Structure 1
């Protein structure tokens, strides 16, 4: 789930495009910063092993403030799910279902996600077991085709760090840290589902490292195929990279394959964000999660139409949204870790 969730729609975009040919270095810096953040999340989960995020918030901040932050986090997770629903609709309209209203495709997939959440976490966690092998095979196949066709030119990645490290760090923080690496915060609601005692630290760390290397490689591959100028000018540079394989006579419409690959990643993100929003709402109200599946699903679906077009959607996602992400992914967890550490130390002293 870590691998599939982190891949999501990430290869679709050229993250860190402001760093130009060094965007893969910006991706590396974002992954390193995200790893530090991951260690913070793991520390929280290890110190409070029986708690999910809502209980952690109440433990660290007190009942009233913790409940308030829980409500805000539920809204934030629903907002993130909405962003992926809109990505889903826009991508479908741009590629394979150009005559189908976007509202219909988004409704279909939000209903599928609602059904999966209604059935419970066990069903949700079976999805990566089925989907991930096929997804990785498709990426591997495309990479081999790029290499065989000679489309990638490593010279397009040079000169390395031409303007120093500062532009690279500016491109990485907070944009790439927030998306996708900081989104690991959802696992504060998923790690307690681990069937074995404790927290799956080793599994999580290896999965995170593996997917980080993969995303850095895909970023560099996009640059090597399109060059920094072209890659930075396209909304969906990976699709454009795949279209450079059009000279292949034995395979056609590879962009459809890429679209289906991105659908898998987007669907997992929709489901996980949606599931976490539902679980927090259920925890705060002490009711069954099923009571919240359809109300929150309706809210996510309705909110996906707020942005007027895809240009505005991308501008918000890579602009104001990253600043909001910084609050929820970095600031609040850091304060929570300090508050939890003080509470734990105080309880030990009194004992």
Structure 2
């Protein structure tokens, strides 16, 4: 096996892609998003989560439609095919800025949560720097390693969430939902607004991963993503429903990390108590996946714009930018909510929904398609090495079988 075979991996399955999308979305919706939606939709916030499901799937179908026309290219590459080289590069630079800001915001979420709930005496710069070390290592290993990590975290995360929800069923108070839809669907529809900003529009990171899905299994990708969106919508709706049923609207709107605080209500015969740390573990895992995917999309997009053969030399320099930027972006939690509820949704929707939709319209009108291989050289090397390794294994097996046949003949003689 080549020494670099583990570093140049670039093939993922549709199932892994769907799980990464789910983990990416849960990085926002597990702790932060329900509070933002409840502020607007009140006791009908679970309806807003339900309404966001079709929009989730529609946005992903935009990316898939572009990927069908440019199967081996990311957004940064087919933007140059549709708009011209220079206009495409300028547009790609806006995505570099977007992924850089998004990575910093996600990292800041970690320090805010740990600083308020788990490690109140630890400086934010230390938490961010330590967490970023693990992220840098994960991004450097490649997308296949990230995908396999996502599969492990997905299984354990879903198991813990189910256990927590089952443990909270004795805390329900259905009066917290009264009156249901007392202003019709208008308020739940307004509650979809923050969901558009995060995580729906942020799914644009997926355009950097689509070219790396195994070609022989790409037909299964649409079905896998549909299932992922169903699971995501269902889990988000149930989590928000539990929040209202257990805590009530007033408590949810006052809590910056409402799902974490909800877990504090678990008390089964004074035996199963203080299990909110399990929620912290799940959320840290999902945020880790989201940050790794953001940094991966950031470095890959930059490498494609600049014309580098590999993204790996960019990982560490970007880490030195993301850590201080994460501290400078927000003053406090209140400022975080103000930006998230106002500016971020508009900015994120422009980058993640409107621009890809316009690119798709241009591609349809002009009829442009291109199957040119746009992968980075390191990714191509990884695929070649895997193919060579499999051929070597097959040849060694056949050689072993050929040697055993004469030995069997001699034994018979």
TM-score interval, normalised by the smaller of the two chains: over 0.9
Pair 345,109 (structure 1): closer, same or farther in 2 beyond 3 Å = closer
| 1:55 equivalent in structure 2 | 77
Q: Which residue of 180, 183, 189 corresponds with 2:202?
A: 183
Per-residue deviation, residues 279-317 of structure 1 (Å, max 9, x unmatched) = 000111121211211121111111101122222123212
| 2:270 equivalent in structure 1 | 249
The correspondence of residues 119-158 of structure 1 with structure 2, limited to 5 A, is 119-147=141-169, 150-158=170-178
User: Aligned partners of 2:190, 2:336: CA distance in 1, in Å?
Assistant: 22
**Are the equivalent residues in 2 in contact too, given 1:11–1:219 (CA < 8 A)?**
no
* Most deviating of 117-126 and 175-184: 175-184
Note if 1:332 corresponds to 2:355. yes
**Are the equivalent residues in 1 in contact too, given 2:23–2:286 (CA < 8 A)?**
yes
User: Aligned partners of 1:278, 1:185: CA distance in 2, in Å?
Assistant: 14
CA RMSD of aligned residues (A): 1.7
| 1:211 equivalent in structure 2 | 232
Note if 1:268 corresponds to 2:289. yes
| 1:7 equivalent in structure 2 | 26
Q: Give aligned pairs, total.
A: 344
The correspondence of residues 301-340 of structure 1 with structure 2, limited to 5 A, is 301-306=323-328, 307-340=330-363
How far is 1:160 from its partner? 2.2
- Stretches of structure 1 that go unaligned for 5 or more consecutive residues are none
Pair 346,182 (structure 1): closer, same or farther in 2 beyond 3 Å = closer
How far is 1:340 from its partner? 1.4
Q: Which residue of 236, 244, 258 corresponds with 2:279?
A: 258
Pair 236,190 (structure 1): closer, same or farther in 2 beyond 3 Å = same
| 1:101 equivalent in structure 2 | 123
Per-residue deviation, residues 256-288 of structure 1 (Å, max 9, x unmatched) = 221111101111111101110000001111212
Note if 1:89 corresponds to 2:108. no
**Are the equivalent residues in 1 in contact too, given 2:69–2:369 (CA < 8 A)?**
no
Pair 242,293 (structure 1): closer, same or farther in 2 beyond 3 Å = same
**Are the equivalent residues in 1 in contact too, given 2:41–2:188 (CA < 8 A)?**
yes
How far is 1:342 from its partner? 2.2
**Are the equivalent residues in 2 in contact too, given 1:38–1:184 (CA < 8 A)?**
yes
Per-residue deviation, residues 126-174 of structure 1 (Å, max 9, x unmatched) = 1112211111111011011011xx112233223222102222212213x
**Are the equivalent residues in 2 in contact too, given 1:4–1:268 (CA < 8 A)?**
yes
- Relative to the length of structure 1, the TM-score reads 0.93
How far is 1:346 from its partner? 9.4
User: Aligned partners of 1:253, 1:102: CA distance in 2, in Å?
Assistant: 25
How far is 1:182 from its partner? 2.6
| 1:34 equivalent in structure 2 | 56
**Are the equivalent residues in 2 in contact too, given 1:53–1:189 (CA < 8 A)?**
yes
Q: Which has the larger radius of gyration?
A: 2
| 2:382 equivalent in structure 1 | none
Note if 1:169 corresponds to 2:192. no
User: Aligned partners of 1:271, 1:106: CA distance in 2, in Å?
Assistant: 13
Q: Which residue of 99, 118, 127 corresponds with 2:140?
A: 118
User: Aligned partners of 2:358, 2:144: CA distance in 1, in Å?
Assistant: 32
**Are the equivalent residues in 1 in contact too, given 2:56–2:229 (CA < 8 A)?**
no
How far is 1:248 from its partner? 4.8
How far is 1:118 from its partner? 1.2
User: Aligned partners of 2:250, 2:172: CA distance in 1, in Å?
Assistant: 15
Q: Secondary structure at the match of 1:16?
A: helix
| 2:96 equivalent in structure 1 | 74
User: Aligned partners of 2:89, 2:172: CA distance in 1, in Å?
Assistant: 51
User: Aligned partners of 1:240, 1:114: CA distance in 2, in Å?
Assistant: 30
User: Aligned partners of 2:145, 2:81: CA distance in 1, in Å?
Assistant: 30
- Relative to the length of structure 2, the TM-score reads 0.80
